Amino acid sequence: MNDAVKLSCTTCGQMNRVPVAKLAEGPKCGACGDPLADGKVAELDARCHDKATRGDEVPLLVDYWAPWCGPCRMMAPEFAKAAQALKGRARLVKLNTEDHPDIAGRARIQGIPALVLYRGGRELARLAGARPAAEIVAFVQGHVSARV
C-alpha cells in the first residue's frame, strides 16, 4: 500500500509527493511554498490544469465556468463550501472557459457550469449544472473510494 500521493501545485505546477496522513494538515508545495490541499478553491491556468488532471492521485474536481455565467457565479459559494468539506480527501479547482476555450474544447465541455472529476489521469465522472454544496460533496464521495 502506497502511503504517499502525487499532487501538483495549482500555483507553479510542480509535482509533489505528499504522505496521505498529512493531506488534512495543509501540505505546502516544495518549490513555491503555496498550499497544496488547504480546502480552498484554486483557479487554474492551462499548464496547471493539464498537470493536475493528468497527474494528481487525489480526486480533483474541476469546475469549468465563465464570469458571464449567472449559474456559475451563484454556485461559487457552494463550491467553496464543498471544497472545505472535502479537505484532505479531494481538491476542488476552477478553470475559466472564457480564458481557456482550447481546454474547454479538449475536455468536451458543452455547457457551464460543468463539474468533471479526475483522478490519476482519468476522468471519473461529470455533473452538469449549478449544485448545492451537499450535492457536490455527495457526487465526489459517490465516485471515489474511501481511501485517498
| Active site amino acids | 69, 72
Closest CA to 59 of 141, 128, 126: 141
On whether the CB atoms of residues 41 and 75 are closer than 8 A, the answer is: no
C-alpha grid cell for residue 82? Answer: 464543498
Q: Which residue has the cell 501540505?
A: 27
Length of the chain: 148
